[in-house]
Amino acid sequence: YNPLRDDWVLVSAHRVKRPWQGQLEKPPPEDVPRWDPNNPLCPGATRANGEVNPQYEGTFVFPNDFPALQPDAPEPGDSDHPLFRAAAARGVCKVMCFHPWSDLTLPLMSLAEIRAVIDAWADLAAELGASYPWVQIFENKGAMMGCSNPHPHCQVWASSFLPNEARLEDRTQQQHLRQHGVPMLLEYAEQEAHRKERLVVENADWLVVVPYWATWPYQTLLLPRRHVVRLQDLRESERDSLASIMQRLLIKYDNLFEVSFPYSMGWHGAPTGPYLEEDCGHWQLHAHYYPPLLRSATIRKFMVGYEMLAQAQRDLTPEQ
């Protein structure tokens, strides 16, 4: 049972032995040039809208040239039936480059460079969160996860509404606090730190676990030990130790199959905008990592068939 999503996961630990004759993924290219004038994320390159990037030396944030959300999206017309509802979705989409070099990934960056990324995340979360209810920071790494550009970067989408996952986690965490008197993920982190069955890495401020309810084979959950509701609330020392634990986790991922490990990751924290005035103590800041690989660098997990039509299913236990 996954208390964060209020749903169930089918674990079939014997199925990982079945022979594989399905699709094999190509390993990622290893000859990414450090700088390419034709790569729109590189310093000094020209982007699709004709703008020229500055010769940036650290992180670089700019508006997405192909945004999924617009600040001035029109109101839809009135619905003539309750089964045909629509509402305006407004927001802004930004891209953030982690580093000027295209051939680097987060685990290959220095602790100071990763710390600069964390600070930029927190600044964006605070800046966009001043007016928008939800700010989603996420990184798609690797072509397998639909990343169209190898340059190290993430995206930040701020929306005028709470997306589905945020609404779900808001409800489940609220219910848990009401019933048990303690934030769900604070209690969960304490339990996992004590049990040590699914612990991947830990330090004084953070721990990373394969969650008990993981659906992806190498899924992880990054949790602070202290009660923190938003990324921008982290202390200086916690930002330093976050850089350290992220580097350790991502090096472990890369070493697992000796390949630059693909994943989608993202931060979840208490809603912002109008919610800044409300008590959001039921929330606990956390990051989800969802890597697609199953048995090797070339065999991935597909969420199809039963997963799409019934519920998530995994072929090995989280402890395995």
Torsion on CA atoms 124, 130, 133, 137, rounded to nearest 10: 0
Task: Indicate the SS3 state at residue 198.
Answer: coil
Torsion on CA atoms 121, 124, 129, 133, rounded to nearest 10: -70
Rounded to whole angstroms, the Cα distance separating 59 from 4 reads 32
Q: Tell me whether residue 147 is annotated as binding.
A: yes
Contact 268, 211 (CB under 8 A): no
The alpha carbon of 154 is separated from its chain's Cα centroid by a whole number of angstroms, namely 9
**Which entry of 14, 81, 99, 153 is annotated as an active-site residue?**
153
Q: Tell me whether residue 313 is annotated as binding.
A: yes
Q: Tell me whether residue 282 is annotated as binding.
A: no
Q: Tell me whether residue 34 is annotated as binding.
A: no
Q: Tell me whether residue 237 is annotated as binding.
A: no
Q: Tell me whether residue 179 is annotated as binding.
A: no
Question: Where is 190: in which H helix or E strand?
Answer: helix 184-195
Q: Tell me whether residue 227 is annotated as binding.
A: no
DSSP tag of 70: B
Q: Tell me whether residue 307 is annotated as binding.
A: yes
Q: Tell me whether residue 278 is annotated as binding.
A: no
Q: Tell me whether residue 138 is annotated as binding.
A: no
Question: 209 pairs with which residues across the strands?
Answer: 199, 221
**CB neighbourhood size of 239 (10 A):** 19
Which amino acid does the sequence have at 201? Answer: V
The alpha carbon of 234 is separated from its chain's Cα centroid by a whole number of angstroms, namely 17
Q: Tell me whether residue 288 is annotated as binding.
A: yes
Q: Tell me whether residue 17 is annotated as binding.
A: yes
DSSP tag of 302: -
Rounded to whole angstroms, the Cα distance separating 183 from 303 reads 30
Rounded to whole angstroms, the Cα distance separating 59 from 274 reads 29
Q: Tell me whether residue 310 is annotated as binding.
A: no
Q: Tell me whether residue 49 is annotated as binding.
A: no
Q: Tell me whether residue 302 is annotated as binding.
A: yes
Q: Tell me whether residue 94 is annotated as binding.
A: no
DSSP per residue over 199-223, as a string? EEEE-SSEEEE--TT--STT-EEEE
Q: Tell me whether residue 64 is annotated as binding.
A: yes
Q: Tell me whether residue 9 is annotated as binding.
A: no
Task: Indicate the SS3 state at residue 14.
Answer: helix
Residues 6 or more apart whose Cβ sits within 8 Å of residue 10: 306, 310, 311, 312, 313, 314
Active site residue 227: no
Write out the binding residues: 15-18, 48, 64-65, 140, 146-148, 155, 169, 268, 286, 288, 301-302, 306-307, 313
Please enumerate, by residue number, every residue annotated as part of a binding site for UDP-alpha-D-glucose. Answer: 15-18, 48, 64-65, 140, 146-148, 155, 301-302, 306-307, 313
Instruction: Could you list the residues known to form a binding site for Fe cation, using ranges.
Output: 169, 268, 286, 288
Point out the residues that are catalytic: 153
